[in-house]
């Protein structure tokens, strides 16, 4: 509204520096820095000692995170007008912000993450109007939180950074990595897509591809979890796990249970057999681990029979049976 009013006033008084400066200051507050700088520069060409114009030039640089250059203009404005209150406040804030940020960066490089977190937090409290610098501070603090393994806090900080500056690639990349670390793959894919749309580099393409692969893998059955083994489990560990889970969920063991329980145990028995079929076969396991489709190259998972796998594992037909030894009790008999 002030810019609108100053434009109307300048129609009647086109040479009025006071109206121009007020307009330029508001343009700077609106983030329209090139326009604000142009107005201030025009005044300085006619009057190089104009403290208000020097202040506006500094303000634009300050909000564009060129803090060191901004301080030079604020100091120059104060030389011309020592009582310039706005230049005095801006100069003080700029120096404090620069010092806190640099101290935080130093603490981070030295591995003192707790101190770095405190310094970045203090810096964020200096001037809420400095959007660009604060976006960087939030991202820096997010990086500290990721180092401290406070991943939810890191995600929150990076989100604050992109809310302030939605073009801030570094914040998207940091948040995407945190999403990957917390297995929130859909969110990671979304951030990497945003990054790749902005900067189509090979590195960003690979990051997006990796996230998409992890998302695809996360949407499949977790065969390691079904067998209760680690992803680095040996062949013997996989066999032992199958033996244990197959005996636990075999339909014959639950023949006296309710229809609902029988159905659930039968489902688990089938999944255990499916998991063993994949993880005990090096070729299938490699394809599964790499996120490739198992239905390709004759690996259709609907073609196998869990009972046949069970019989083959325990020595063929007649090699194994469940015998009741009392209500709810069973023992295993091998032929």
Whole-number Å distance between alpha carbons of 189 and 178: 12
Mean pLDDT of 112-134: 96
Question: What sign results for the dihedral spanned by CA atoms 302, 308, 309, 310?
Answer: positive
Whole-number Å distance between alpha carbons of 208 and 206: 5
Mean pLDDT of 92-105: 96
Q: Indicate yes or no: pTM above 0.85.
A: no
Whole-number Å distance between alpha carbons of 302 and 273: 12
pLDDT of 180 > 80? The answer is yes
What pLDDT sits at residue 222?
85
Q: How far is CA 218 from the centre of its chain?
A: 17
Q: How would you label 181-205 residue by residue, b for 16+ Cβ within 10 Å and e otherwise? A: eeebbebbbbbbbbbbeeeeeeebe
Q: How would you label 223-254 residue by residue, b for 16+ Cβ within 10 Å and e otherwise? A: bbebbebeeebeeeebbebbeebbbebbbebb
Whole-number Å distance between alpha carbons of 294 and 285: 9
> Taking the CB of residue 58, how many other CB atoms lie within 10 A of it?
28
- Confidence grade of residue 251 (pLDDT, cut at 50, 70, 90): confident
What pLDDT sits at residue 304?
60
pLDDT of 23 > 70? The answer is yes
The residue among 89 and 308 whose pLDDT is bigger is 89
What pLDDT sits at residue 299?
52
Whole-number Å distance between alpha carbons of 138 and 175: 11
pLDDT of 136 > 50? The answer is yes
What domains appear along the chain, each with residue ranges and CATH number? 1-94 (1.25.40.10), 130-219 (1.25.40.10), 223-294+306-311 (1.10.287.110)
The residue among 312 and 11 whose pLDDT is bigger is 11
Structure tokens at 255: 């023949």
Instruction: Please state, for a pLDDT cut of 70, what percent of the chain lies above it.
Output: 90
Name the least confident of 100-109, 124-133, 149-158, 318-327.
318-327
What letter would DSSP give residue 149? Answer: T
pLDDT of 317 > 70? The answer is no
Whole-number Å distance between alpha carbons of 186 and 203: 19
Mean pLDDT of 322-328: 47
Write out the H or E segment, with its range, that includes residue 137: helix 131-147
pLDDT of 333 > 60? The answer is no
Beta bridge partners of 237: none
| Nearest residue to 161 via CA among 140, 190, 139 | 139
Determine contact, residues 158/178, Cβ cutoff 8 Å.
yes
pLDDT of 289 > 90? The answer is no
Residue corresponding to tokens 């009582």: 83
């Amino acid at each position: 509204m002030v810019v609108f009013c100053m434009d109307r006033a300048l129609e009647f008084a086109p040479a009025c520096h006071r109206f121009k400066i007020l307009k330029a200051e508001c343009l700077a507050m609106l983030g329209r820095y090139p326009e604000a700088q142009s107005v201030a520069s025009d005044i300085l060409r006619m009057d190089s000692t104009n403290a208000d114009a020097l202040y506006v030039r500094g303000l634009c640089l300050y909000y564009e995170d060129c803090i060191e250059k901004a301080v030079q203009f604020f100091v120059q404005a104060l030389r011309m007008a020592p009582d310039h209150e706005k230049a005095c406040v801006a100069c003080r804030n700029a120096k404090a912000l620069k010092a806190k940020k640099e101290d935080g960066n130093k603490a981070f490089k030295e591995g003192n993450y707790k101190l770095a977190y405190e310094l970045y937090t203090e810096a964020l409290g200096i001037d809420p109007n400095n959007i660009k610098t604060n976006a960087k501070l939030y991202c820096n603090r997010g990086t500290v939180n990721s180092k401290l393994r406070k991943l939810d806090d890191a995600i929150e900080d990076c989100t604050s950074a992109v809310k302030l500056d939605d073009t801030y690639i570094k914040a998207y990349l940091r948040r995407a990595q945190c999403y990957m670390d917390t297995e929130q793959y859909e969110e990671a894919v979304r951030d990497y897509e945003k990054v790749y749309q902005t900067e189509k580099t090979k590195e960003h393409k690979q990051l997006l591809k990796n996230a998409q692969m992890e998302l695809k893998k996360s949407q499949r059955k977790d065969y390691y979890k079904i067998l209760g083994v680690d992803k680095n489990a040996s062949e013997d560990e996989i066999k032992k796990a199958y033996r244990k889970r197959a005996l636990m969920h075999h339909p014959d063991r639950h023949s006296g249970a309710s229809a609902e329980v029988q159905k659930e145990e039968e489902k688990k028995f089938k999944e255990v057999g499916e998991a063993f079929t994949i993880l005990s076969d090096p070729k299938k396991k490699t394809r599964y681990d790499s996120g490739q489709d198992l239905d390709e190259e004759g690996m259709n998972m609907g073609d196998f029979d869990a009972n046949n796998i069970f019989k083959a594992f325990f020595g063929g037909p007649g090699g194994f049976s469940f015998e009741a030894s009392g209500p709810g009790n069973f023992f295993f008999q091998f032929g």
